[in-house]
């Protein structure tokens, strides 16, 4: 991020110069126009009187021409200085960013260039659908001749339709969706449906005493959630006492906080994506964020490998030469490193549980076999290698 900050500083300098130049240019031209206007009025007055041009007016005209020339030259010089500042931004970008980042990953990672292009286009389209830019995604599909099934689009279309309604404070579509998926939401321990009913109840409370009977009638929707959300329901029922005085001046004023709408949008997005088998963040945005963290490290490693001529250290396919910490946000599944070979297990080298309970990788198991028997490296138990069972985390 230091490289980005360096470029941003240069860009701020340019923007500041543009702003200063614009203000100075406008002020100088206004002063010049005012000065020329005064001189023109004096010349017009002398012409009406029929008097010949005096020496004083001639001197003033000469000074005016010189002032115009000096002002134009000064503005042109300042404008040229801005050009040099703009060029420094380009140099800062070249200095802080490597333009040949494609060399970090070998083409051998991809099956073919067409496959690479198709995967990238599909990732962009999915990102656009997930961000609600449906028309842009459709246009990209047409121009790239990418065929996207309606079954793929449908979850995104429904998700964005409901989110748009929530942003307009319309709870109807979200409530209808939550009720139709109630059983699956309960399996996820989701409180989405309760939060939607609570928000609708709060909207009725905000309507004042006129909505009191309607609010009491709607409170029946809380019955299925009484066991898990008893405290929250009690708070809402208690707020009815202050309805005539106004909730905004009561101890329950927090119920009217507008942040509840942002919270319900986040809750719906998270639970709906989990239910539909989608990630909350698009794979493209996650990959881009991870790449911003990993690329500088990988480029440094590549430079060291090339400098020391260490061929074969990094095959570029399905592996990295070092571990790169991306943060907890990018932890999506558990990993297991073999305690014997100190290698992370994979599909071709899965973790194996021995009958004694210890776990090692399959490669380690094969290397420890002696005479058709296997002795656990952590305890003296001998066992048949075939008794080991694969573990899936």
Residue 169 binned pLDDT confidence (cut-offs 50, 70, 90)? confident
Q: How confident is the model at residue 111, as a pLDDT?
A: 64
Q: Between 221 and 102, where is the model more confident? A: 221
Tokens encoding 231: 């405290």
The three-class DSSP label of residue 58 is helix
Lowest-pLDDT range of 65-69, 100-104, 213-217, 259-263 = 100-104
320 closest CA partner among 361, 281, 340, 290: 290
Percentage of the chain lying above the pLDDT 90 cut? 2
The residue to which tokens 């001639």 are assigned: 58
Q: Mean pLDDT for the chain?
A: 82
pLDDT tens-place string over residues 239-250? 888 888 787 888
CA 268 – CA 161 distance, rounded (Å): 12
pLDDT tens-place string over residues 195-208? 999 999 888 888 88
CA 260 – CA 197 distance, rounded (Å): 12
Q: How confident is the model at residue 134, as a pLDDT?
A: 82
Q: How confident is the model at residue 59, as a pLDDT?
A: 82
129 closest CA partner among 121, 138, 117: 138
Lowest-pLDDT range of 79-83, 171-175, 228-232 = 79-83
Contacts of 351 (CB under 8 A, 6+ apart): 336, 338, 345, 359, 360, 361, 362, 390, 391, 393
In terms of C-beta distances under 8 Å and separation of at least 24 residues, what long-range contacts does 16-23 make, across chains too?
A: 17/81, 17/82, 17/85, 18/82, 21/78, 21/79, 21/82
Residue 110 binned pLDDT confidence (cut-offs 50, 70, 90)? low
Q: How confident is the model at residue 393, as a pLDDT?
A: 72
Q: Find the mean pLDDT for residues 159-167.
A: 88
CA 7 – CA 15 distance, rounded (Å): 12
Q: How confident is the model at residue 152, as a pLDDT?
A: 81
Q: Is the pLDDT of residue 316 over 60?
A: no
Contact 358, 376 (CB under 8 A): yes
Residue 256 binned pLDDT confidence (cut-offs 50, 70, 90)? confident
- Angle between helical axes of 259-276 and 150-167 (0-180°, round to 10): 170
Q: Is the pLDDT of residue 227 over 80?
A: yes
Lowest-pLDDT range of 39-53, 106-120, 211-225 = 106-120
Q: How confident is the model at residue 314, as a pLDDT?
A: 62
Q: Is 70 exposed, middle or buried (0-12, 13-18, 19+ CB in 10 A)?
A: exposed
Q: Is the pLDDT of residue 147 over 60?
A: yes
Residue 38 binned pLDDT confidence (cut-offs 50, 70, 90)? confident
Tokens encoding 305: 């490998």
Q: Is 54 exposed, middle or buried (0-12, 13-18, 19+ CB in 10 A)?
A: exposed
pTM as predicted: 0.55
Q: Is the pLDDT of residue 161 over 60?
A: yes
Tokens encoding 31: 């002063």
Q: How confident is the model at residue 351, as a pLDDT?
A: 92
Contact 179, 172 (CB under 8 A): no
pLDDT tens-place string over residues 328-387? 777 767 778 888 887 888 888 899 999 888 999 999 888 888 888 888 888 878 888 888
Percentage of the chain lying above the pLDDT 70 cut? 92
Tokens encoding 206: 């905000």
Q: Is the pLDDT of residue 322 over 60?
A: yes
pLDDT tens-place string over residues 259-312? 888 888 888 888 888 887 777 788 888 888 888 888 878 778 777 777 777 666
- The CA-atom distances, in angstroms, between 371 and each of 352, 368, 377, 385 are 19, 10, 16, 11
> Hey, which residues does 344 pair with through a beta bridge?
337
Q: Is the pLDDT of residue 103 over 80?
A: no
Q: How confident is the model at residue 109, as a pLDDT?
A: 60
> CA torsion angle for 198, 200, 203, 209 (degrees, to 10)?
-90
- Would strands 373-375 and 369-370 be described as parallel, antiparallel, or unpaired? antiparallel
Q: Of all helices (H) and strands (E), which one includes residue 57?
A: helix 55-96
């Amino acid at each position: 991020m230091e490289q980005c900050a360096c470029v941003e500083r240069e860009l701020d300098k340019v923007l500041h110069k543009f702003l200063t130049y614009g203000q100075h240019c406008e002020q100088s031209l206004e002063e010049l126009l005012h000065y020329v206007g005064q001189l023109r009025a004096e010349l017009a007055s002398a012409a009406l009187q029929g008097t010949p041009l005096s020496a004083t007016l001639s001197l003033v005209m000469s000074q005016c021409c010189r002032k115009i020339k000096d002002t134009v030259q000064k503005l042109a010089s300042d404008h040229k200085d801005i050009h040099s500042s703009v060029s420094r931004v380009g140099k800062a970008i070249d200095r802080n960013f490597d333009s040949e980042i494609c060399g970090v990953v070998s083409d051998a990672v991809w099956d073919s260039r067409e496959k690479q292009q198709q995967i990238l286009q599909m990732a962009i389209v999915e990102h656009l659908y997930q961000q609600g830019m449906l028309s842009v995604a459709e246009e990209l599909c047409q121009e790239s001749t990418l065929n996207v099934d309606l079954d793929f689009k449908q979850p995104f279309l429904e998700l964005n339709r409901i989110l748009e309604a929530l942003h307009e404070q319309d709870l109807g579509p979200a409530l209808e969706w939550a009720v139709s998926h109630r059983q699956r939401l309960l399996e996820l321990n989701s409180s989405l449906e309760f939060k939607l009913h609570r928000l609708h109840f709060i909207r009725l409370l905000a309507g004042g005493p006129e909505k009191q009977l309607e609010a009491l009638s709607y409170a029946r929707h809380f019955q299925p959630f009484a066991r898990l959300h008893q405290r929250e329901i009690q708070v809402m029922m208690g707020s009815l006492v202050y309805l005539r005085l106004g909730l905004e001046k009561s101890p329950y004023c927090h119920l009217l906080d507008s942040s509840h709408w942002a919270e319900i949008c986040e809750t719906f997005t998270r639970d709906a994506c989990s239910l539909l088998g989608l990630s909350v963040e698009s794979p493209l945005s996650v990959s881009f964020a991870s790449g911003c963290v990993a690329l500088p490290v990988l480029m440094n490693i590549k430079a060291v490998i090339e400098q020391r001529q260490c061929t074969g250290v990094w095959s570029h396919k399905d592996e990295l030469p070092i571990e790169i910490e991306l943060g907890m946000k990018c932890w999506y599944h558990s990993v297991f490193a073999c305690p014997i070979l100190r290698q992370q297990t994979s599909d071709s080298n899965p973790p194996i549980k021995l009958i004694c309970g210890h776990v090692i990788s399959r490669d380690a198991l094969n290397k420890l076999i002696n005479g058709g028997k296997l002795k656990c490296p952590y305890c003296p138990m001998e066992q048949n290698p075939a008794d080991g069972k694969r573990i899936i985390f």
